Amino acid sequence: MYSRLQYVSQGSTLNEQQENIKRALDAGCEWIQLRFKYSERQELIKLGEGTKIICASYAATLIVNDDVEVAKQIDSDGLHLGLQDMPVALARDILGRNKIIGGTANTLGDVMTRIQEGCDYIGLGPFRFTSTKEKLSPVLGIEGYQQIAYELSKQKQKVIPVYAIGGIVPDDVAALVSVGIYGVAVSGAITNHSNKKEQIHRFNSLLYEKINHR
């Protein structure tokens, strides 16, 4: 079963990325999505290789954002593809059938496409405005997730894990789970928190408790 909480790595330098990832893992995070935009290729490879080692020591899942060649080189657990990235089928050909392939979605049409492509999970958002990502797509809000879930149920689409992403804090979890969201992908809510262990515990407690009692 996939972890219901993903930490999307944050930091403008290699050292910041390494420190934030280490702190998230120390605090109990079990899934790292490695996102280091605008870095040099060798920096990303170095970060990926180091993160692979530390994730293995924590038995945590490591997913590389966007870069299939880096994912292959460091032998990560998988790859997350943006809407403008390569097709899922091509990524599977490169990485192998045993790797996790996730994909971004912003609309109902995107979700249906991702399901048809054979994604293992979907990152659907943004939930609200976030400064983490440039060129932000239209904000969904809880109503957007609810409408997409309703339309998918009407069309009897295959169910795969959907993660909400975009400015999410623990107080959002109950509403998101109530409309069928599997988990959440967060960045700033963990990076910027003074007590990361407490924050991650709160996210996990809410995610697993709400789902177990849904």
With beta carbons less than 8 A apart as the criterion, state whether 44 and 17 touch.
no
Its sign, for the CA torsion 124, 128, 132, 135, is positive
Would you state the pLDDT for residue 158?
75
Per the prediction, the chain carries an average pLDDT of 93
pLDDT average, residue stretch 33-48: 94
Query: Could you please report the per-residue DSSP string of 191-212?
Result: HT-S-HHHHHHHHHHHHHHHHH
Q: Kindly indicate the confidence band of residue 209, based on its pLDDT and cuts at 50, 70 and 90.
A: confident
Q: Kindly indicate the confidence band of residue 190, based on its pLDDT and cuts at 50, 70 and 90.
A: very high
> Rounded to whole angstroms, how far apart are CA atoms 156 and 200?
33
In CATH terms, the fold of domain 5-209 is TIM Barrel (3.20.20)
What is the per-residue pLDDT across 91-116, written as a single tens digit (0 to 9) for each? Answer: 999 999 999 999 999 999 999 999 99
What is the per-residue pLDDT across 142-171, written as a single tens digit (0 to 9) for each? Answer: 999 999 999 988 877 778 999 999 999 999
Q: Kindly report which listed range (154-163, 177-186, 195-204) carries the lowest average pLDDT score.
A: 154-163
Question: For the chain, what are the domain ranges?
Answer: 5-209
pLDDT more than 90, % of the chain: 84
Buried b (16+ CB within 10 A) or exposed e, 76-94: bbbbbbeeebeebeebbee
Q: How many CB atoms lie within 10 A of CB 59?
A: 7
Helices (H), 58-140: 68-74, 88-95, 108-117
